[in-house]
Structure 1
Amino acid sequence: MNPYVQTYVIYALLLVIGFVLGRLTARQRPESGQQTRPTSALYSTPLSQLPRPLDHDAEERIVELLRQGKMIEAIKRYREATGSNLKQSKEAVEAIVARRSLDLGGHQ
C-alpha cells in the first residue's frame, strides 16, 4: 500500500474514533421543549452578595426576640444581620429555635 494512502487511512480512522468518542462522552442536551436544570444560586450569585455568617451577639439578640415571642422581628433581624433572603432567614431562625430548644409559647 502506498505510504500516502496509508497515512490518510490512519488519519481518517483517528477522525472517526475521535468523533465517536466525542458523541459518547458528550453531555446530553435537552430537546427543544425541555427545560434545563437551574444553576445553583451559589454559583450564579456574586461573592459580595452571598449571606454573611451570623455573629454571636446578633444571635443572642435574635434569641431574646424569640423568647419574647417576636418571631417575625427575629427573622427581620436575621435578614439584616446576614443579608439572607426571607426563606433562608425563616429556616435559619427556626433552626435556632430547634437547636436552643426554645419555647415560643405558641408564637410561630
Structure 2
Amino acid sequence: MRDIREIYDELRGVNLVLSQNEFSTDFLGKSPRYYSYLLATNRQPSIGASYALSLRLEMIADHLRGNGNIKWAERFADLANVVEDNARYMALNPTPCSREKGNFSGRR
C-alpha cells in the first residue's frame, strides 16, 4: 500500500480533509487521534480502517464521476483499489501479534 501519510497528504492537498482528527474519523472510521497514533508508532491502519478508507475513496470517485470529473475520479478509484488490495492482503496474511513497529495488525 502507498504509505498512509501519502494518502493523507493527497487528500489534504485537495482540501478533502482539513485535519488529522477529521481524517481519523471521516476516512478511517476511528477515534480522532487514531491517525496520530499510526504516525507515532510507525504502523499501518488496521484492516477495518483500511476498508473504511477504501470505501470512502470510492465514494469520492463515484461523486466525481457523476460530476464529469473523470480524471480525478480515476485517481481516487485507483487509490481506493490500492488501499483495498492492501486490506485484502493483510486479511489473508496475518502477522503475529507483537509490539514491534510496523506490525500490520496494529495489535499488541
Q: Which TM-score applies when normalising by structure 1?
A: 0.26
Q: For the pair shown, which has the larger CA radius of gyration, 1 or 2?
A: 1
TM-score normalised according to structure 2 size: 0.26
Structure with more contact order per residue of length (Cα contacts < 8 Å, sep ≥ 6): 2
